[in-house]
Chain A
Amino acid sequence: MGTNDQPLVFEISKPGRVAYSLPELDVPDCPTEELLPAEYIREEPAELPEVSELELIRHYTALSRRNHGVDSGFYPLGSCTMKYNPKINEDVARLDGFTHIHPYQDEETVQGALELMYRLQKNLAEITGMDEVTLQPAAGAHGEWTGLMIIRAYHEANGDTKRTKVIVPDSAHGTNPASATVAGFEAVTVRSNEKGLVDLEDLKRVVGDDTAALMLTNPNTLGLFEEDILEMAKIVHDAGGKLYYDGANMNAIMGVTRPGDMGFDVVHLNLHKTFTGPHGGGGPGSGPVGVKKELAKFLPKPRVVKTEEGYRFDYDMPDSIGRVKPFYGNFGINVRAYTYIRTMGPEGLKQVSRDAVLNANYLFRRLAPYYDVPFDRHCKHEFVISGRRQKKLGVRTLDIAKRLLDFGFHPPTIYFPLIVDEALMIEPTETESKETLDAFADAMIQIAKEAEESPEIVQEAPHATPVKRLDETEAARHPILRYVKA
């Protein structure tokens, strides 16, 4: 077996081959030196590949075969909602009238795009129980930061400048404290209690007149519903803070309960999660932000509004936090999300959440006898188990994850949330069948047995992937971040 089984595109490159076709130049030519000052002309062409079109296609097809997506198989990556990506979304997003329109065209010529944005905003406001929505943020973390900047502007407008702290639970996504920092706040941690929920006593301890906001995911990253949410909202609001809802787990509660009704003031959604914009191998996403009325004037500008003469961009927002992104957000992802909402409708969206929760609880119960269960109660759309029992046998959660690869499954999120030792965070989503869940459960049960009977099978996994375990330490110690011709 060779050491470079899959050549880099640079390694298959051969001078003289092309994979493009530009028209003959139909305007007068002249030497580059006459077009541009000599010192601004590139001396050497950039070392880009030279391949034929078939070689290009074979290269990327080969790469795609070394990649696992939702279409390849089960992908229960917790907190990421790896549900099916509908094909009609892709067809619709590729219509010329959506793909080939320029953001600076006259509003008259993009009424369909504006109408779509307006309709999507309304639908998202209804789903979350908020009053106004912006589609500008590009992803979840970008939405978090946008929402926090809005909260910051709100406090500043009230002359309330000493609110420098944002409270995040110890179970929170890493983006929460990171976004707080970028927005200029100090992140303060609130503890979880023995039930896996925010400890109210600890919340009372950390909250104060310096609290700008509490960021919360509900259900939380353990997949548990924060049942004391109204009391938490009261504690934070009484102290003058705002409640921020991280919408990463929205897939659990559509049509069941709404962040706006739980007391949240600001919400972001991940349209690439709950609303099927594909994950794209890491993006692009879309992270709309919804707010209650009193915060609406701080939203990023422009906003899409409906007037008697049609849809318009409203730039007249003197209190706006400003722009968070050029143009109007990741429009193409928003087209997909709107298409999905119209495929499912109100009843369908509720059924999505009910099935997501059913699937998660079913899988949870099938696995519970074989793995440690840190919080033994009904979960929402995801759940967390622990590999502590297997760790005592010398099999780590990382090993379990790698062994799952041999069964053709993408592993769950591992070692997160941080408050659970050897965590496996499993989110099956509603688009998976009972048969798939059973097959995954059977594999997990087999791995638990292997851990007892023949741990080396698990410790040495994966056995069936194109590459074996990769040396991440070496990658970080001596970083090679680009190809350099030998």
Chain B
Amino acid sequence: MSKYKYLPVTEEDREAMLKTIGVQSVDDLFADVPAAVRFNGELGVEKALSETELYRFMRGLAAKNTDTKSAVSFLGAGVYDHYIPSVVGHVLLRSEFYTAYTPYQPEISQGELQAIFEFQTMICELTGMEVANSSMYDGATALAEAALLAAGVTRLKKIVVSEAVHPEARDVLKTYAKGQGLEIVVVPARNGRTDIDRLESAIDDQTAGVIVQYPNFYGQIEPLKELEPIVRKGKKSLFIVAANPLALGLLKPPGRFGADIVVGDCQPLGIPAGFGGPHCGYFATTKKYMRKIPGRLVGQTVDEDGRRGFVLTLQAREQHIRRDKATSNICSNQALNALAAAVAMTALGKRGLPEMARQNVLKARYAARRLREAGFELVYDGPFFNEFVVDVKRPVSELNKALLKKGFIGGFDLERIDPTMKGRMLVAVTEQRTREEIEAFAEALGGLANGNE
């Protein structure tokens, strides 16, 4: 009998199969592996556990983590604790979806293809763009790919990026830029938003693209209307906006402000924080750049009987056809998480998404008010979505340790990214937080920061 529940070949099978192959043993099938590179002995990997033992062990590992279901989280900075309708998990567990791969054979992949076609449509709706792809790894790599597209179509090398774009997205952009020999110019923020004067002086005829975030890393809503004409001062430069798709339930879409490319991460829509991944990047643009878009696209067509169906299309852009001339090297993407986002967008729907977005704004507003009442100042005075920066007067890391003892996961410590931001906490308040939790948090933070405890 087999020792392993995933390995069905029995001794009897093995004998019969070896006979058909015409060899004496399985070893004979490895005769072409030179002795000098053979691995002798047993791999030093951890020992096998039975299912019961393994589940117990993994539960033990998980239990060493403090999760946001047991602590009350005000931590965001690009990854948020949001309502995930139960239906999302149930659809993802339909194994016809999760045990399939890229839909190369459309006749038996219509489910995946149609779900992604619907996803593409929803992303277009939210962003106000004409075309969206089937997903990217995450918002940051989508942003980097947007920069590569801009450099490719303009044949220019300079990318201007706002300091108020997520710092890790800027880091990823820098790594991609190195490969392509792009120059990255970072424009500082002023009062929590992209400094318009500095932006203007950074843009010239050599600029391939300008990247801002909406709402930005500090939660502030960038004035896209004022930024767009400045971007156009670069004769060729593309306007690239990284946007939180949930915020777009309420905010005017970047497409209405003339964005050429809109990217972002669908994590707020049906995808748990998951220690930072897997999440799901999206990439949307105009028809003009449709044939330059990275990654897979699903298109509608008809079968031989005229019946509607869906296929992967415009594949001449992709690596398996174009190899070194492809628009990107991306192959596997985040399809299952795009499905999660599509299900969440369907569940929330036309009314739920704006309602959820509104609750974020209102609760963040309320939290800001309570924190002000507790003696803190908001560092920036512009309009914000569900995040704001507060001056907590003491090192955030210390406060967060104390908050944790009271059952709170505090906000992001901005000193981590900028030593001049000591004592600045980026507080995220989603629809998940109750009034009671917000009040208790403001009270706890007030007590700690004012040295009452």
Contact = CB atoms under 8 A, between A and B. Distances in A.
B94 A40 contact: no
A32 interface: yes
Interface string A315-353: 000000111111111111101000101111111111110
A149 B179 CA distance: 7
16 contacts: A6-B308, A27-B363, A46-B122, A51-B346, A80-B101, A99-B274, A101-B273, A105-B66, A184-B178, A279-B332, A284-B280, A325-B172, A358-B18, A433-B13, A470-B310, A476-B313
B272 interface: yes
A358 B363 contact: no
A140 interface: yes
Among A112, A123, A326, A480, which residue has the most Cβ atoms of chain B within 10 A?
A: A326
Interface string A162-186: 0000000000011101111111101
A347 B343 contact: no
Interface in A92-114: 92, 94-106, 109-113
B191 interface: no
A394 interface: no
Nearest to A135: B277
A178 B328 contact: yes
Given A19-B347, A378-B31, A91 B55 contact: yes
A348 B3 contact: yes
Interface stretch (B192-200, B296-304, B440-448): B296-304
B381 interface: no
A13 B34 CA distance: 62
Given A182-B329, A322-B172, 11 more contacts: A28-B362, A36-B251, A59-B346, A98-B274, A139-B137, A174-B326, A253-B33, A326-B78, A348-B4, A358-B9, A476-B315
B404 A357 contact: no
A486 interface: no
A254 interface: yes
B185 interface: no
Given A103-B79, A261-B39, A20 B107 contact: no
Nearest to B251: A40
Given A140-B331, A322-B171, A465 B438 contact: no
A40 B354 CA distance: 14
Among B31, B112, B305, B323, which residue has the most Cβ atoms of chain A within 10 A?
A: B323
B369 to A, nearest CB: 9
A471 B427 CA distance: 51
A45 B350 contact: yes
A106 B107 contact: no
Interface string A462-486: 1001111111101110011111000
A109 B413 CA distance: 16
Nearest to B118: A9
A350 B368 CA distance: 57
A168 to B, nearest CB: 9
B334 A284 contact: yes
B343 A174 contact: no
B332 A141 contact: yes
B451 interface: no
A67 B9 CA distance: 27
Contact of B97 (A173, A281, A342): A281
A450 interface: no
Given A70-B99, A142-B141, A378 B32 contact: yes
Contact of B138 (A41, A138, A341): A138
Contact of B37 (A2, A230, A354): A230
A187 B29 contact: no
A37 B361 CA distance: 13
B409 interface: yes
B380 interface: no
B109 interface: yes
Contacts of A430: 6-7, 9
Given A48-B348, A184-B179, A434 B95 contact: no
Contact of A101 (B68, B297, B383): B68
A27 B31 CA distance: 72
B319 A113 contact: no
B153 interface: no
Contact of B383 (A37, A105, A343): A37
A456 interface: no
Nearest to B250: A42
Contacts of B316: 476
Given A35-B361, A178-B329, A468 B304 contact: yes
A345 B59 contact: no
B374 interface: no
Among B98, B305, B404, which residue has the most Cβ atoms of chain A within 10 A?
A: B98
Interface in B194-227: 221, 223-225
B307 interface: yes
Nearest to B109: A67
B375 interface: no
A97 B336 contact: no
Contacts of B307: 1-5, 467-468
Contacts of B297: 479, 481
Nearest to A341: B45
Contact of A285 (B94, B97, B132, B332): B332
B121 A342 contact: no
B48 A27 contact: no
A374 interface: no
Contacts of A123: 45-46
Contacts of A283: 135, 137, 278, 332-337
Contacts of A49: 345-346, 349-350
B166 interface: yes
Contacts of A83: 6
B14 interface: yes
Given A104-B77, A255-B42, A358-B14, A149 B102 contact: no
Contacts of B83: 20, 22
Interface in B336-380: 336-337, 339, 343, 345-356, 358-359, 361-363, 365-366
B98 A178 contact: no
Interface stretch (A200-208, A289-297, A360-368): A360-368
Interface string A50-86: 1101001101111111111111100101001011111
A1 B363 CA distance: 51
B169 interface: yes
Nearest to B16: A434
A29 interface: yes
Interface in B59-80: 59-71, 73, 75, 77-79
A104 B252 contact: no
A16 to B, nearest CB: 9
A242 interface: no
A162 to B, nearest CB: 15
A26 B436 CA distance: 9
Nearest to B127: A46
A402 B108 CA distance: 10
Nearest to A110: B65
B330 A471 contact: no
Q: Lowest 6 A-B CB distances belong to which pairs?
A: A327-B276, A345-B48, A97-B62, A112-B64, A280-B336, A103-B276
Contacts of B349: 13, 17-20, 48-51
Contact of B95 (A69, A355, A410): A69
B299 to A, nearest CB: 4
B8 interface: yes
B288 interface: no
Contacts of A341: 45-46
Among B100, B404, B416, which residue has the most Cβ atoms of chain A within 10 A?
A: B100
A242 to B, nearest CB: 16
A126 B44 CA distance: 6
A156 to B, nearest CB: 10
B311 interface: yes
A119 interface: yes
B328 A101 contact: no
Given A26-B435, A358-B9, A346 B42 contact: yes
A328 B31 contact: no
Contacts of B99: 69-72, 75, 82, 85, 278-279
